[in-house]
């Protein structure tokens, strides 16, 4: 997560979710319920376009190894996997879906 000016409330809220997932994974012991979160990179959504300048948008595209913004369709399969029985051994993880932009 980039710690950019103007993200003073956004960045800590993301950090809180990541901490909560790690705690929940332990608190849910014995329930067969897993707790994970998906941390997407720059995804082409209305929320992104409303909160970013054209300059910042160009930087995000330039920093991506794929040379583009992510699409919701890039993130959805990861969420689907984590919601499936195939992910029963994945617990307490933050899965970064960023296209390689770290």
The active-site residue out of 2, 10, 16, 58 is: 10
Does the annotation mark 25 as catalytic?
Answer: no
Mean of all residue pLDDT scores within the chain: 93
State percent of the chain over pLDDT 90. Answer: 77
- What domains, with CATH codes, occur in the chain? 10-97 (3.40.50.720)
Task: Report the alpha-carbon distance of residue 57 to residue 49 in Å, rounded.
Answer: 8
- The residue-averaged pLDDT of 14-27 equals 97
Q: Both tokens of residue 50?
A: 């409303």
Determine the pLDDT at residue 97: 97
What are 27-68's pLDDT values in tens digits? Answer: 999 999 999 999 999 999 998 998 789 999 999 999 999 999
Burial zone of 101 (CB within 10 Å; 0-12 exposed, 13-18 middle, 19+ buried): middle
> What pTM did the predictor assign?
0.86
Determine the pLDDT at residue 51: 79
Q: How far apart are the first and last CA of the chain?
A: 7
Q: Both tokens of residue 38?
A: 């998906």
**Measuring CA to CA, which residue among 42, 39, 64 is closest to residue 51?**
42
């Amino acid at each position: 997560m980039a710690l950019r000016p103007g993200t003073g409330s956004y960045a800590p809220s993301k950090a809180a979710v990541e901490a909560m997932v790690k705690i929940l994974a332990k608190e849910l012991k014995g329930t067969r319920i897993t707790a994970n979160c998906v941390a997407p990179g720059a995804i082409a959504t209305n929320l992104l376009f409303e909160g970013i300048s054209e300059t910042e948008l160009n930087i995000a595209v330039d920093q991506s190894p794929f040379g583009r913004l992510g699409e919701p369709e890039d993130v959805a399969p990861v969420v689907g996997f984590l919601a499936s029985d195939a992910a029963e051994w994945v617990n307490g993880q933050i899965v970064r879906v960023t296209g390689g932009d770290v």
